[in-house]
Structure 1
Amino acid sequence: MDYTVVGAGAGVAVLLLVVVVLVRRRSSGARQSKRAHDAAQKREPPVALGETYEFGVTEFADHHSGDRVAVGKVEGFVVFTEDVPTRVSEGDVIRATVTSFNRDETSADAIFEGTA
């Protein structure tokens, strides 16, 4: 019996098992993310036009307007805030007034009012 062939076969089997586990784990996370995304699209926005909210800045992005906007969330709902001063950093808490929703009401645009 050639133990080299048996050892190589066992190594290949373990490697395939590891690959299958990693792929399943990744696809499970993707399914969970998709379910959360779908549920978020079906709910009513937790913000209202003209109302002011406080939330933390999670990042800055270039918005469709071409300007730098602060991105944050109110109850998991994404709010893009314009006219944020450069002194504001990620992690800062800001106040912003909601001015509009995107077409599907899955995010909102807001105007910076101040820091909290």
Structure 2
Amino acid sequence: MIPTSPLVVGIAVAVALLALFVLARRLRGPSSEARESKRAHEAAQEREPPVEIGETYEFGVTELTDHHSGDEVAVGKVEGFVVFTEEIPSGLEPGDVIRAKVLSFNEGRTSADATFVERA
């Protein structure tokens, strides 16, 4: 005999609803934020970078993050183009304005690596 107590029925309904929710999320696909990020990345691949290697640019630091080198880097944008700046001084914080010299582009030319020059 199958138990039919209200507690067992309630748990069964909750499990079924959770399974339906998970299935619906998977079928729906990526979030609007993920789709927008992908569109921005594809658009960046199609345009020429607004920076040049060897030139110095001034921009605001949007965040500090760990770079693939293992060092902390400052992240900022020049005309919407992402610039990762290495060799940053201690005490640098998001919101600070810096000058950095562009050293190289990534493989897809959708971002650049730079070295810190000075606080602006």
TM range (shorter): 0.7 to 0.9
Equivalence for 1:100? 104
Kept after mapping to 1: 8 A contact 2:41/2:110: no
Q: 1:90 aligns with which of 94, 103, 118?
A: 94
**Where in structure 2 are there 5+ consecutive unaligned residues?**
1-23
**Structure 1 residue 115, shift from structure 2 partner:** 0.7
For the residue of structure 2 that corresponds to 1:48, the secondary structure is coil
Kept after mapping to 1: 8 A contact 2:102/2:114: yes
Distance of 2:43 and 2:89 partners within structure 1: 34
Provide, for residues 22-70 of structure 1, a one-character-per-residue CA deviation record: whole Å limited to 9, x for no partner: x97x744443332222111111111000000000111111111111110
* Identical positions, percent: 70
For normalisation by structure 2, the TM-score amounts to 0.71
Task: Write out the 4+ residue segments of structure 1 that deviate beyond 3 Å after TM superposition.
Answer: 26-33
Pair 1:30–1:65, CA change in 2 (3 A): closer
Equivalence for 2:51? 47
Distance of 1:70 and 1:109 partners within structure 2: 10
1:77 aligns with 2:77: no
Distance of 1:101 and 1:80 partners within structure 2: 10
Distance of 1:62 and 1:28 partners within structure 2: 26
Matched residue pairs, number? Answer: 108
Distance of 1:62 and 1:29 partners within structure 2: 23
